[in-house]
Structure 1
Amino acid sequence: MNTQIVILAAGMGSRLGRSLPKPLTELSDGRTIMRQQFDNIEQAFGAEPNVTIVVGYKLEHIIEAFPQASFVYNEEYDQTNTSKSLMRALQASQPGGVLWMNGDVVFDPRILERALPLIERDQSFVTVNTAKVSDEEVKYTTSAEGYIKELSKQVRGGLGEAVGINYVSSRDKAAMLAHLGRIDDQEYFERGIELAIEHNGMLVEPMDISDLYAVEIDFAEDLERANHFV
């Protein structure tokens, strides 16, 4: 199985206050955030995974650190959000589904192992944590059938949080790509998922990883929390 994997790493990550792109932030075990991601990817998908990194801010540092990857350039990295970075990656992808993740998530390697059956079924999914629901995070609700219904920071009565590791199936990719192209530059990619669900009937499973760790690094306290796990 040659799964297409995308890491979104174009942003400036200014809230963490580092000079390098946020994915190159060093963890307590000496690895960078992105190196930890690559280690997890290689553990799940083998020694030469098919990884594309969306770059923008100080891209030369990421390209130098991970020359084995392919790269897509978001030249408007300082004016756009994750919706447009993912759009560029999907446009550049080959036929088939795509697994993608935010470049600032430190996560348990077992998450990708848990995802493998869904990927093999070519089933779109969003990875979720039901253990906590913070107002500032992307939250979700489900339909009566158990599929994702709403997915945004504005969701009320959320069942949990999305953790930034997702998969779009081969059959759903075109619809999602179309919506990513239409939405505002400052939207998150979750809005593209929501619209594909609403207008195209895309079925997106919530994959619960509440028993595992996944920490999105926005602030110094997030980095401190992630360092307890690695």
Structure 2
Amino acid sequence: MTTQIVILAAGMGSRLGRSLPKPLTELSDGRTIMQQQFDNIHQAFGRDVKVTIVVGYKLEHIIEAFPHADFVYNEAYDQTNTSKSLLRALQATKDSAVLWMNGDVVFDPEALVRAGDLVARDQSFVTVNTSKVSDEEVKYTIDETGHINELSKTVRGGLGEAVGINFVSSRDKAALVRQLQRVDAQDYFERGIELAIEHDGVRFQPVDVSDLYAVEIDFAEDLERANLFV
């Protein structure tokens, strides 16, 4: 089975207030957010793994920084959300299973190592943090079988937060593509996952990485917190 890695990096990231795309923000160890992600990917899956970056805002800077990656262009990056960026990436990667991550997450490399068994088994999953449940973050609930049931920012009674690292198996990919085509342009990709669960019976397993660090960089204080770990 072939697995491809996708990094969603098309957005403008205006809340952080930087001139470059947010994934190119420098961390305290001298690496950028995206370089830290690449290092983690290579540690878990080797240097030959195929990485596709979805670009949009100031794409030339990301292409220059990572010339050996493949690229998918979301030309409507300023009018669409992550659902449409992920849709373009899944369509570009054909029938392969896809592990994808948001391009603004600084995370412990062990998170991908831990998920490796599920990737090898071709089991769709969502990585989660059960140690906190913030109103503004994507939250989740599970069904009676222990699989993801609800996944959105509006979930009530959430069991934890989605970390921003996810995997869709080769057998579930077509259903997710179909549902991402249905959702609104401003929807997050989590809405497509919810619809695939509801209408196609797709099962996403939660992978708990609460004991590891994973920081989504939206604001300056998030960057300060991430820099405590790298």
How does the TM-score come out when normalised to structure 2? 0.99
In the other structure, the counterpart of 1:15 is 15
Deviations 1:166-225 (A, max 9, x none): 000111100110110111000000000000000000011000000001000000000000
2:181 matches 1:181:
yes
Moved more, 190-199 or 2-11: 2-11
Moved more, 40-49 or 26-35: 40-49
Give the CA deviation at 1:48: 2.5
Structure 1 segments of 4 or more deviating over 6 A?
none
Deviations 1:138-190 (A, max 9, x none): 00000011000000000000000001000001111001101101110000000
Distance 1:78 1:6 in 2: 20
Distance 1:49 1:220 in 2: 32
Report if aligned partners of 1:2, 1:49 keep a CA contact under 8 Å in 2: no
Distance 2:119 2:96 in 1: 11
Deviations 1:30-50 (A, max 9, x none): 000000000000111112220
In the other structure, the counterpart of 1:128 is 128
Report if aligned partners of 2:55, 2:73 keep a CA contact under 8 Å in 1: yes
Aligned-partner residue type, residue 179 of structure 1: Q
Report if aligned partners of 1:2, 1:50 keep a CA contact under 8 Å in 2: no
1:74-223 aligned at under 5 Å gives the runs: 74-223=74-223
Q: Percent identity among equivalent residues?
A: 79
Report if aligned partners of 1:81, 1:185 keep a CA contact under 8 Å in 2: yes
Distance 1:69 1:13 in 2: 21
Report if aligned partners of 2:106, 2:226 keep a CA contact under 8 Å in 1: yes
In the other structure, the counterpart of 2:68 is 68
Distance 2:95 2:191 in 1: 23
Distance 2:192 2:164 in 1: 14
Distance 1:96 1:171 in 2: 9
Deviations 1:80-133 (A, max 9, x none): 000000000000003221000000000000000001000000000000000000
Unpaired runs of at least 5, structure 2? none
How does the TM-score come out when normalised to structure 1? 0.99
CA-atom RMSD, angstroms?
A: 0.7
Report if aligned partners of 2:2, 2:96 keep a CA contact under 8 Å in 1: no
* Secondary structure class of the residue paired with 1:40: helix
User: May I ask how many residue pairs the two structures share in their alignment?
Assistant: 230
In the other structure, the counterpart of 1:39 is 39
